[in-house]
Amino acid sequence: MRTASTHQPNTERTEHEPLTPSATRPDPLRSLGEVPWQVIKDSSGSATAVPRLLNKIAWGNRDTAEAAVGELRDLICQFGFVVHQATAAVVPYLWDLALLPHVKVRPQLIRLLAAVAVARQWETTAVAYPKLLNHRENHVVWERAARQAVRARRDQVRALLTDKDPEVMAAASELAQRIGQ
């Protein structure tokens, strides 16, 4: 007589399994493929790791998302004040993720936006070393573009200031101060 298998399928997510949105959640990352990540630069060189990190932030559990935010911060806002070419391209995704209640690390994302909003490392350096402005890769332009990308969606800070999560509200208050909202 045959018996039914007692094998239980593994429901744990492996490190290599892609993180994807469920049918009930919006996909804030649907346009990631339209950004030329392999061409633009982050602190490590080519920004090809950015989409993977954003996916982990969007769909991962708290530990996964926290680790991904830390890695992303090192790539786009190194030391909390040095932005790179990829930063401006990442900012809209940070805004989108910060507004979604299911994202586990919204306060960290809002604080990252606040750091980008006031980053002036390259501008400050260019005052002392004007030749920096003559480089093919103009870091000052990247920095200004990143700050502008944060400010372009500053109207969304209002929604964060009235969020149910007190940590989100506190981070949003800091962001509002930094962008003059």
Query: What pLDDT score does 132 carry?
Result: 57
Q: For residue range 81-126, list pLDDT tens digits in order.
A: 778 899 999 999 999 999 999 999 999 999 999 999 988 665 666 5
pTM for the whole structure = 0.78
Calculated CA dihedral for residues 85, 45, 98, 151, nearest 10 degrees: -10
**β partners of residue 78:** 82
Question: Who wins on pLDDT, 133 or 176?
Answer: 176
Instruction: Report whether 88 contacts 148 (CB < 8 A).
Output: yes
- Amino acid sitting at position 84: H
Alpha-helical regions (H) of the chain: 50-59, 62-76, 87-98, 106-118, 121-128, 139-152, 157-161, 166-178
- For position 78, what pLDDT does the model report? 76
For tokens 């980053």, name the residue.
Answer: 119
What is the SS3 assignment for 45?
strand
* DSSP letter assigned to residue 119: -
pLDDT higher than 90, residue 128? no
Percentage of residues in the chain having pLDDT higher than 70 = 74
Mean pLDDT within 147-172: 95
